[in-house]
Amino acid sequence: MLSRLFHRAPKQKMPCTPADIPGRPGLVRLEGAAKQALDLSRGRLVIGIGLFSLAFCLLAGRLVELTAFHGAGEPVVARVNPDLTARTVLMDRQPIVDRNGVILAANLKIASLYADPRKILNPAEAALRIAQVLPDLSAGELQTKLASGRSFIWLKRGLTPREQYEVNRLGIPGLYFHDEQRRVYPQGSLAVHVLGFTDIDGNGIAGIEKSFDEQLRDPARTGDPLQLSLDIRVQHIVRDELARAVETFQAIGAGAIVMDIYTGEVISLVSLPDFDPADPGAASADARFNRITLGVYEMGSTMKTLNTAMALDYGVAKMSSSYDARFPIHIGRFTIHDDHPKARWLSVPEIYMYSSNIGSAKMAVDVGPDRQREFMARLGMLTKPAIELPEVGAPLVPRNWKTTETMTIAFGHGLSVTPLQLCTATAAIINGGVLHPPTLIKRPPGMPAPGRQVVSRWVSDALRKLMVLVVEDGTGKKAEVNGYLVGGKTGTSEKVSARGGYNHKALFNTFVAGFPMNNPRYIVQVMLDEPKGNKSTYGYAAAGWTSAPTAGHIISRIAPLLGVEPVDENSPAIKQAMYVPLPGIDLPGKTQEKKLASQ
| 447: confidence class by pLDDT, cuts 50, 70, 90 | confident
Q: Kindly state the average pLDDT of the residues 481-509.
A: 88
pLDDT in tens, 40-58: 777 777 787 877 777 777 7
Model confidence at 7: pLDDT above 70: no
Question: For residue 42, how many C-alpha atoms fall within 13 Å in the half-sphere facing its CB?
Answer: 6
Per DSSP bridges, beta strands 522-529 and 502-515 are antiparallel
Q: What is the H or E stretch that residue 19 is in?
A: strand 16-21
Among 340, 380, 381, 348, CA closest to 364: 348
User: Could you give the percent of the chain with pLDDT greater than 70?
Assistant: 85
Q: What average pLDDT does the chain have?
A: 87
Which position has the higher pLDDT, 89 or 559?
A: 559
CATH number of 87-228: 3.90.1310.10
pLDDT in tens, 318-366: 999 999 999 999 988 889 999 889 999 999 999 999 999 999 999 999 9
Report d(CA 343, CA 327) in Å as an integer. 7
> Which pLDDT score, from 0 to 100, does residue 3 have?
44
Residues acting as catalytic residues? 301
Among 457, 540, 471, CA closest to 512: 471
- Grouping H, G, I as helix, E, B as strand and the rest as coil, residue 349 is helix
SS3 per residue for 528-562: EECCCCCHHHCCCCCCCCCHHHHHHHHHHHHHHHC
Which position has the higher pLDDT, 510 or 3?
A: 510
Q: Kindly state the average pLDDT of the residues 382-403.
A: 96
> Which pLDDT score, from 0 to 100, does residue 591 have?
38
Strand partners of residue 488: 513
Among 503, 491, 501, CA closest to 551: 491
> Which pLDDT score, from 0 to 100, does residue 319 have?
94
- Grouping H, G, I as helix, E, B as strand and the rest as coil, residue 53 is helix
Weakest-pLDDT range from 245-249, 312-316, 372-376, 493-497: 493-497
> Which pLDDT score, from 0 to 100, does residue 91 have?
52
Q: Kindly state the average pLDDT of the residues 273-300.
A: 95
| 133: confidence class by pLDDT, cuts 50, 70, 90 | very high
> Which pLDDT score, from 0 to 100, does residue 584 have?
55
| Contacts (Cβ under 8 Å, ≥6 apart) of 578 | 464, 465, 468, 485, 517, 518
Domain boundary assignment for the chain: 87-228, 235-596
Among 407, 397, 395, CA closest to 367: 407
pLDDT in tens, 569-597: 999 999 999 998 887 544 444 433 333 33
Phi-psi region of 55 (alpha: psi -120 to 50; beta: other; left: phi over 0): alpha
- Torsions phi, psi for 477 (to 5 deg): -60, -35
User: Could you give the percent of the chain with pLDDT greater than 90?
Assistant: 73
pLDDT in tens, 95-114: 999 999 999 999 988 899 99
Strand partners of residue 513: 488, 524
Phi-psi region of 174 (alpha: psi -120 to 50; beta: other; left: phi over 0): left
> Which pLDDT score, from 0 to 100, does residue 33 have?
63
Among 233, 302, 243, 309, CA closest to 462: 309
Q: Kindly state the average pLDDT of the residues 256-266.
A: 98
Calculate the CA dihedral of residues 188, 194, 195, 198 and round it to 10 degrees: 100
Q: How far apart are the first and last CA of the chain?
A: 160
Weakest-pLDDT range from 10-19, 390-399, 452-461: 10-19
CATH number of 235-596: 3.40.710.10
> Which pLDDT score, from 0 to 100, does residue 158 have?
86
Q: Which of 142-146, 240-244, 533-537 has the highest mean pLDDT?
A: 240-244
